[in-house]
Amino acid sequence: MAEVTISAGGLEFRIEYRNFGGDRGPAVRVFGNVDGEDKQILRFDCFDQTPHYHYDPTGMDAYHHMDRAVTPDVVAYSLAQMRDNTKAMVKAAGYPELASAVDGDAVATSIGQIRAAIDKATAEAAGE
């Protein structure tokens, strides 16, 4: 499946299925406009073996592991973070001006579309 881009709340959510370092799973990369440039702000890697998310993956790259014993459905957890905490996460990634411009309600409204794109990417990858 080609990458799917969903624009919402002043951000772009780019959904794909990734194979990386012997692991695989759906990923959502969150981009925003920073100083006129398209910048990856957050990334949620909902991998089979080592699910995790990043704040500013191409800069400070603060990496947070998702423990499946605590969070068995990492896709649902990631979507809840996007729905409820995008503004705070963008700010924590080091982009307070961008965070203040994010429309959290518009992001929340787009979660169904993001989920559908994740489900489609996962189903297509299973058919490989």
Q: Which helix (H) or strand (E) holds 16?
A: strand 11-20
Q: How many domains, the chain?
A: 1
pTM over 0.75: yes
**pLDDT 10s digits, 57-114:** 888 889 999 999 999 999 999 999 999 999 999 999 999 999 999 999 999 999 999 9
20 has pLDDT over 90? no
With pLDDT > 90 as the criterion, what percentage of the chain qualifies?
Answer: 88
Beta carbons of 114 and 12 less than 8 angstroms apart: no
Look up the domain containing 96 and give its range. Answer: 4-126
Please tell me the predicted confidence (pLDDT) of residue 2. 82
